[in-house]
Structure 1
Amino acid sequence: MYNASDLRRNLKIQIDNEPYVIIDFQFSKPGKGQALYRCKLRNMINGVIIDRTFRSVDTFEPADLQERKMQYLYNQENEFYFMDVENYEQSMLTAGQVGEAKNYLIDNLEVDILLFEDKPIGITLPNFVDLRVTRADPWAKGDSVSGDSKPVTLETGYELRVPPFIEEGTKITVDTRTGEYVTRVKE
């Protein structure tokens, strides 16, 4: 059981028997009266975003979620398919459920699939993934306007800025939490 003082970003709670994740959070204490917690919550099943204000005396149930290790197989239009590494069962997530994680999904990547009442509703990526650069513009020495970085496209179609020494075909490590370049992978 959570108290209102436990609320923070990315906390998963259950409201009206549905799982929600807190995506934004503000605390305010008026001169008189109780402290208020203003939260923006996203329903983890249908993606609907709601605003709620909670008092300091409110309590919450943790979202009843399970995580299962699965391997990414492929996507077909707006559906992403994963295989349970223990029993080889396949599960499907929609593009809305996968969200920004699609930028980092490569074949055979192991991820954690979030389950609510045994139905897949979301995905948790590893913090870092190694991806190959498929397009990199040449860098012109002295091009200081770009701040010594250049845009590249990765094998998943994701675009980001990297140091100028990164060339097409290079494998790089990307932080999935921020979407930023971390380092070049030695092959």
Structure 2
Amino acid sequence: MSFVNNFKCGRKIILNFEPYNIEFSEFINPGKGKAFVRLKLRRLLTGTLINKTFKASEHLKSADIIKKKFIYLYNDNKMWIFMDDENFNQIYIKKSIIGNNYKWLIPQDICEILLWNNNPINIILKNFVKLKVIKTENVIKGDSVSSFSKFATLSTGVIIKVPLFIKIGDIIKIDTRSETYISRDR
């Protein structure tokens, strides 16, 4: 248990029996009245943000969150299977925890998984991935006046907008946070 006024950004706490990450912390000591702390918290189970105000004298329990590296192996559309990088144990993660991150998971790729009480609660992907273009729209010569991009299907099944010069077989770099094209890999 720790006092709220000692909490800094990045610390994991338990609130209402769930783990939260402190995104923003502000200690306020008004001229009149008691000091308080304003926190912006991210719920680790769902990713939603909440704002909460606490008295400076209140205390909360720290969450036992571990960030560990795993190798993504495969999935059966219900469970995603990962292997521990250190001891080769496998863990199974439900689709509800994977969420939209499935689009950027490449077999044999390393990613980080947040564990709370040794149970997976969230997956952290790399900021950038390189994927192969397997299908793209044909561009009519001279059509670049009306559009600067076209849709392409990537090896994981994701469809994104890419520049007109991208063709089937190209390897492209994607920003997983914004789900946008960054560059063509040579």
Please say whether Structure 1 and Structure 2 have the same fold, judged by a TM-score greater than 0.5. Answer: yes
Q: Secondary structure at the match of 1:165?
A: coil
Residue matched to 1:53:
52
Identity %: 32
Tell me the CA shift for residue 104 of structure 1. 0.4
Give 1:151's aligned residue: 151
Question: What are the Cα deviations for residues 27-81 of structure 1, in whole angstroms up to 9, with x where unaligned?
Answer: 9x9xx9888858574351xx39585532474665554211111110111122111
Alignment pair present for 1:175 and 2:142: no
TM-score of the pair, normalised by structure 2: 0.77
The aligned runs of 1:67-82 (5 Å cut-off) are 67-82=67-82
Describe the shift of the 1:20–1:5 C-alpha distance in structure 2 as closer, same or farther (beyond 3 A). Answer: closer
CA root-mean-square deviation: 3.3
Aligned counterparts, 1:114-125, within 5 A:
114-125=114-125
Q: Which runs of 5+ in 2 are unaligned?
A: none
Unaligned runs of 5+ in 1: none
Moved beyond 2 Å, runs of 4+: 1-7, 10-14, 20-23, 32-43, 47-53, 55-64, 139-146
Cα deviation, residue 17, structure 1: 3.6
TM-score, length-scaled by structure 1? 0.76
Task: Report how many residues are paired.
Answer: 178
Q: Secondary structure at the match of 2:143?
A: coil
Deviations 1:104-147 (A, max 9, x none): 0111010011111111111111111111111111223334443x
| Distance (whole Å) between structure 2 residues aligned to residue 145 and residue 13 of structure 1 | 52
Q: Aligned to 2:103, what secondary structure does the other structure show?
A: helix
Report the counterpart of residue 84 of structure 2 in structure 1.
Answer: 84
